[in-house]
Amino acid sequence: MPELPEVETVRRGLAPVMEGVVISQADVNRPNLRWPFPPDMAARLTGQRVLGLRRRSKYILADLDTGETLLIHLGMSGRMLVSGDPLGQFVHDHPAPEKHDHVVFHMENGARITFNDPRRFGAMDLFATTGADDHPLLSKLGPEPLGNAFDEAHLVSALAGRNTPIKSVLLDQRIIAGLGNIYVCEALFRAGISPRRKAGHISARRGAALVPIIRDVLRDAIEAGGSSLRDFRQADGELGYFQHSFDVYGREGQPCRRDGCDGTVGRIVQSGRSSFYCGKCQR
């Protein structure tokens, strides 16, 4: 599933052709994805101007001039692909419709944005912009890891007294919004912390040091266009490249990349998910 860097990469790719532009026509080609689409979604979107695109955790939010916000979740295999861009940033002509093109936005500037989702785990919803923070998918999310509310005091307090592994705490969306398995593994490697270590056993100093490390990992991934492991594509159809920079994720049995460490990357399963780490230099 796309994590924060992938969703932010898609948002940035969509912004030049959607922000400030009217959706001249919205096509909704099926009644549902993971959940049913909101009533009359095509009619409620057609003719509306997109005031801005923002991201909350792993969701893209498009604020409309009607006072409603469109929520987009890519799910496991969802893609938002741009074609016919009049700004010259995307060279793709409009492709022929495909079987899994479930929602299509025809923009007034000639661009077309297609939501393609073979596995149909994605989702869309429409709701009042003023009540966005109370939406069931957003109301319990923790602070954004790249925002000011995510600071050393917040994380140290969240770790204190917890008897669960640090890996599980960092994946808890109520504590930090948008982090997923890939980037937690990478951040813990850079911090030299084992994913097995109990969160409450991590000193305040090491917990505070995790904050800038998490931010650096996410910024590096965004700069590389995210990570493409299976289905993820940027808005122009290109792959992300951060997977070529993984220190531990997916590198089971390979040498540790930390200077001076002769360990190898191992893999364990925690709560049904693979954790990759170096048992020699992550403590």
Catalytic residues: 2-3, 58, 273
DSSP assignments along 191-253, one per residue? HT--TTSBGGGS-HHHHHHHHHHHHHHHHHHHHTT---SSS---TTSPPP-GGGG-SSTT-TT
User: Is the alpha carbon torsion for 135, 137, 143, 147 positive or negative?
Assistant: negative
- Cα torsion at 224, 228, 256, 274 (round to 10°)? 130
Tokens 């090491």 locate to 206
List the one residue out of 69, 188, 203, 83 whose CA is nearest residue 138. Answer: 69
Rounded CA separation 80/14 (Å): 8
Q: Which two tokens stand for residue 246?
A: 């993984």
Q: Alpha carbon of 278 to those of 127, 165, 200, 257, 262: distances in Å?
A: 45, 16, 21, 9, 10
Residue 254 CB: number of other CB atoms within 10 A?
13
List the one residue out of 196, 180, 163 whose CA is nearest residue 270. Answer: 196
Rounded CA separation 283/245 (Å): 22
